[in-house]
Amino acid sequence: MAEFEASQVCRGFIQQLQNEVGEQDRQLQAYMEQGNLLPFYLDLNSAARLDQITEQWRVFFRTRFPSGLDRARVAMWEVRNLHMAATIRKITALNPGGRMLVIVGAAHKPFLDAYLHSLADIELVHLADLQ
């Protein structure tokens, strides 16, 4: 029964994700036709969009697969994001007071923001701040 429930949760999640990706593709095409991608990137980096990304990872805490693969997936994602944050920190440590441009996939952003925000002398400047 638990496996069936987990399957249902995943199926709903996958459909929602497909709908969101389709909508993003339509938006991207519209912005490309206008010749201005800035609004698209601002939307990708908005608080609402980052909340959606975080929610997509929370699904793995509702599935509870007997194999534990759902939790393992989250753990490996955290490892990946921590490694990215550590690499960024290492580079900034070698260049004190310098600037660094970090471009990452949208799914990494909320996690990297949280990790990097906790560091003592790192100031995060977001795309929306540059307008």
- Return all residues near 11 (Cβ < 8 A) that are at least 6 apart: none
Per-residue pLDDT at 3 exceeds 60: no
- Mean of the per-residue pLDDT values of the chain: 85
Contact 74, 57 (CB under 8 A): yes
Tell me the domain boundaries of the chain: 2-130
Task: Give residue-wise pLDDT tens across range 52-103.
Answer: 888 888 888 788 888 888 889 889 999 999 999 999 999 999 999 999 999 9
Q: What is the pLDDT of residue 1?
A: 45
Q: Is the pLDDT of residue 40 over 60?
A: yes
3-state secondary structure of 35: coil
Cβ atoms of 52 and 86 closer than 8 Å: no
- Please tell me what DSSP assigns to residue 130: G
The whole-number pLDDT of residue 49 equals 85
Half-sphere exposure of 99 (CA within 13 A, CB side): 3
φ, ψ at 119 (rounded to 5°):
-85, 145
What's the confidence (pLDDT) of residue 64? Answer: 82
For 124, how many CA atoms within 13 A lie in the half-sphere containing its CB?
Answer: 19
Q: Dump pLDDT digits (tens) for 8-28.
A: 666 776 777 677 778 888 888
CA atoms within 13 A on the CB side of 110: 16
pLDDT of residue 122: 93
DSSP state of 87: H
CB distance 47 to 113 below 8 Å: no
